[in-house]
Each structure stands twice: as structure tokens, then as C-alpha cells.
Amino acid sequence: MTDQSDGGILGGLRRLLPSKEKDAGSGELDDYDYNLRPKKKGAVIRVAQSDGHQDELRTVLDLGAEEVWAMVARRGPEEERTDAPMPVRLFTGTRVSGIVGIVPRGLEAPVDTAVARLTDEGRKPRIPAAVTETRHGIRVDLLMGAT
């Protein structure tokens, strides 16, 4: 017999399944073609794990910068092997922030490819970003379609 106070078996499953309230980030791999280029201008990836960086994000938001760029360092071979997270920092034109989150799991390849493509084209390896306040806190969206 299951204990009904914690939701029983279903309660246990709910704790294991991803929740929209958690800070897991979002994005769709289907938004990218075979070469990992965005299929549409509106392709966006929401940065994960930004709950712990709300003070840094508040500082960026308070600056009121018209343009915000995400700076994501490419993973080296060792980091790729260990599936290390890809931290995200923001650049406002006058200031580089501390880490504000990470690229969500499974969406590292499109971000890494975008940074490589920008570098190969002789452009600065920065992805346009939007910092927005939601009811769950301040979030960062990588505007992948603008790369």
C-alpha cells in the first residue's frame, strides 16, 4: 500500500518529471536545420539555471542597455567529453556580467555552432539576447534566429 500523504506513486513520478516551474531553460532542437542553423528568425533558447543569478540579472536589467549580447565560451575537447555545462555571461556594451545561467541540456550544439559561425564570419562571437522579467524571476533568452 502506498502512502497517500506524499501523493503515492504519482507524487513520486511528478518529482522525477521536469516541471515548467523549474529553471530548466527551454528551446526546440526542431528550430534548427541539419547544419544547426536557425530555420526561422524567431528561434529562441531560454537560458537554464538563472534562479541563482537573480542579483546579477537585476544589475543587467537596471542598466537599461538597448542591446544585450550573450557570451558563451566554446567547449574544448575535454569539456565535450565530460558533457560540461556551457555558462552564459552577458555583455551590455560597457560591462561583462558574471555567469547568469547555462545553456539548457541538449541545446549546446546549436549555440556552439552559432558561436563558431560568427567567429568564422569575422564577427564577434556574441549572440543577441533579451533579459526579461517574468513571474518566476528574471530570465535570459538567446535570440538564436538573429545570428
Entry pTM: 0.81
Asked if residue 77 belongs to a domain, the reply is yes
Asked if residue 29 belongs to a domain, the reply is yes
Q: How many separate domains does the chain show? A: 1
Integer Cα distance of 64 and 92 in angstroms: 9
Integer Cα distance of 144 and 111 in angstroms: 8
Asked if residue 9 belongs to a domain, the reply is no
Integer Cα distance of 33 and 112 in angstroms: 14
Asked if residue 13 belongs to a domain, the reply is no
User: What pLDDT is stored for residue 81 in this prediction?
Assistant: 67
| Beta bridge mates, 134 | 137
Range of the domain at 43: 22-146
Asked if residue 50 belongs to a domain, the reply is yes
User: What pLDDT is stored for residue 121 in this prediction?
Assistant: 93
Asked if residue 131 belongs to a domain, the reply is yes
Asked if residue 45 belongs to a domain, the reply is yes
User: What pLDDT is stored for residue 91 in this prediction?
Assistant: 95
Asked if residue 79 belongs to a domain, the reply is yes
Q: Splitting the chain (147 residues) into consecutive groups of 10 residues, what average pLDDT does each group show?
A: 47 44 85 94 95 93 89 79 84 91 93 93 94 92 94
Cβ contact 104:47 at 8 Å = yes
Q: Which of 16, 28, 15, 54 is nearest to 136 (CA)?
A: 54
Q: Is residue 43 classed as helix, strand or coil in its secondary structure?
A: coil
